[in-house]
Chains A and B, each alone.
Chain A
């Protein structure tokens, strides 16, 4: 399911260059905005909560999953994947630096379960994480997704 969505809505971006965590979030979420998954204000919500409570979405070493609440402008469930050429620091001591940005949008906390299962399964594999972050073409990166 994830793979089809990434291809259909053009939601995957490989070896992107960003200067810091903020630009990483902005560019990752911009993929969702472009695909009409979220309104532009969704990104502002993520940035302002990050500044308020810290990087609450760095889920495991090297991987961040920025997201906010449905009422912050989510139009439908969706995920974008972005890998970074140069890793960035979010301020999560144990899990920094980050090279994979999974931008997540969900309309509620139930209907995104299948999507989340795929993410949980995929990112439980260090091999998959390594393959994804070292991929230099979208095709190779997409091979990681079932």
Chain B
């Protein structure tokens, strides 16, 4: 199972929408995931149990990640096609065993 963490400024809006979208996307991709969401300030506490961080470019710049964690960013939260492509690419590159 892959552990996804959605991050935004205060952990309420953007990260929640991302969480909802990603659950649907991963289900359709056939990838097993656990999805959490939090604010940029809280991200540090979650990072050790995260495989992929999903956020917008502006918050992406502010989060420091260990090398083992992959980041995927999107400007348009509703762009399901774009988000699917980016996420699939990240999974195939870094976690190939998780996807058929």
Contacts and interface: CB of A to CB of B under 8 A. Distances in A.
A5 interface: no
Contacts of A109: 11-12, 15-16, 37-38
Interface stretch (B64-72, B77-85, B86-94): B77-85
Interface in A6-61: 49, 53-54, 56-57, 59-61
Interface string A94-121: 1100000000101001001100110110
A60 B79 contact: yes
Contacts of B38: 109
Contact of A69 (B10, B20, B79): B10
B29 to A, nearest CB: 16
Contacts of B20: 113, 116-117, 120
A68 interface: yes
A68 B13 CA distance: 9
Interface in B1-27: 8-17, 20-21
Given A61-B76, A95-B75, A69 B17 contact: no
A65 interface: yes
B58 interface: yes
Contacts of B75: 92, 94-95
A123 interface: yes
Given A116-B16, A116-B20, A124 B80 contact: yes
Contacts of A120: 17, 20-21, 77-78
Contact of A124 (B9, B15, B59, B78): B78
Given A59-B77, A59-B78, A94-B76, A54 B58 contact: yes
Interface of B: 8-17, 20-21, 37-38, 56, 58-59, 75-80
**8 closest Cβ contacts across the A-B interface?**
A60-B78, A94-B75, A120-B20, A56-B9, A60-B76, A59-B77, A69-B10, A124-B78
